[in-house]
Amino acid sequence: MKLKILVVAGDGIGPEVTNEAVAVMKEAAALGSHELTFSERRIGGVAIVQDGTPLPADTLNEALASDAVLLGAVGGNEFNSLPPDKRPEAGLLGLRSALGGFANLRPAFAFKELAVNSPLRPEIIDGADILFVRELLGGLYFGTPREWNRATGEAWNTMRYTRDEVARVARVAFKLAQGRRKKLTSVDKANVLEVSQLWRATVIEVATEFPDVTLEHQYVDAMSMHLMNQPRNYDVVLTENLFGDILSDESAVITGSLGMLPSATIGGKVNLYEPVHGSAPDIAGKGLANPLGAILTGALILRHSAGLETEAHAIETAVRKVLESGCRTPDLARSNPQGFCVLSTKEMGAKVRETLKTLLVNV
């Protein structure tokens, strides 16, 4: 098995966490004698500074010539005054659109060991296991016209979807639900928005292809409350782009830290993998970042792009075992710093690799 992976580490804590993810993937692949090759390119703020653009052509070409792309994070406070199309985030959006992946899978799950980090009561989150399927190439992020007209003091963005765009992401979500608990919750604002009415009608149509999956609809405002009140009620949650951006961050509350969550974007020419967290400039370069979200993202690369289920599962088990052993990065240890072995970013990566070796030794 050969796989060519492009790493675009980006800004802030991106390089620190992707370094650990790459090291863990290498360890997992070596133990199973698979060949992974890695290349690196710039994106986001570092690319603005060095190349004058958030998405250099060379980065895009290399991404299109790879089997998978691992992105760290983009963004930094020094770019806050730039217009949206010049910002580090524009590099990420340009990459998403060029790679063509429209289905962004964002699992949000409760780790028993991290329940203390969540402001929600343990009996509410215990066993919660949600898979968000966020449409990633449509809606307000990409709809035109878009403009801030400074002369008139007006600004507008366009929320637009076609029936086909909704149907293709709905199919991905229904298929994933078939492999899980067979329940799909589609999120919209069909009581107000025409786009949402199209969304709901299309999802209902697609549902006829998947009679074994139970479909329900929720308005996004109600959903944001239900997710905190009864997260165990949800299996696969299908959303348009912006609703999914918001609800997936909200759901990090279930896990206890945004630093734990991975994501995979599938359906296009090249799959794109990113931890859900941002660039966290306040802790960048200090060895404080939690690499587990990036490491779990590495597991998704092995699963979805390399078909290495054993290795992917082993990485996920290793992360769980490390947490069980009481080791934490600082973001996970706030409740009781004395009670844990608190590790730096690199030490956490090393601990996962060490645990992984013991798991994969006989594979």
Per CB under 5 A, residues contacting Mg ion are 245
* 2 among known catalytic residues: no
* 129 among known catalytic residues: no
Least distance from C-beta 245 to ligand IPM, angstroms? 5
Least distance from C-beta 133 to Mg ion, angstroms? 15
* 221 among known catalytic residues: yes
Q: Which of 141, 161, 234, 273 is catalytic?
A: 141
Q: Which of 11, 188, 189, 351 is catalytic?
A: 189
Q: Which 75-134 residues touch ligand IPM, going by CB under 6 A?
A: 75, 89, 92-93
264 or 360: whose CB is closer to ligand IPM?
264
113 or 245: whose CB is closer to ligand IPM?
245
Least distance from C-beta 248 to ligand IPM, angstroms? 6
* Three-state DSSP string of the chain: CEEEEEEEEECCCHHHHHHHHHHHHHHHHHHCCCEEEEEECCCCHHHHHHHCCCCCHHHHHHHHCCCEEEEEECCCHHHCCCCHHHCHHHHHHHHHHHHCCCEEEEEEECCHHHHHHCCCCHHHHCCCEEEEEEECCCHHHCCCCCEEECCCCEEECCCCCCHHHHHHHHHHHHHHHHCCCCEEEEEECCCCCHHHHHHHHHHHHHHCCCCCCEEEEEEHHHHHHHHHHCHHHCCEEEECHHHHHHHHHHCHHHHCCHHHCCCEEECCCCEEECCCCCCCHHHCCCCCCCCHHHHHHHHHHHHHCCCCHHHHHHHHHHHHHHHHCCEECHHHCCCCHHHCEECCHHHHHHHHHHHHHHHHCCC
Binding track over 160-199 against ligand IPM, x by CB under 6 A: ----------------------------------------
Q: Which 216-255 residues touch ligand IPM, going by CB under 6 A?
A: 245
104 or 345: whose CB is closer to ligand IPM?
104
* 67 among known catalytic residues: no
* 164 among known catalytic residues: no
Least distance from C-beta 249 to ligand IPM, angstroms? 7
Does position 11 interact with ligand IPM (CB under 6 A)? The reply is: no
Residues at the interface with ligand IPM (CB under 6 A): 74-75, 89, 92-93, 245
Active site residues: 141, 189, 221, 245, 249
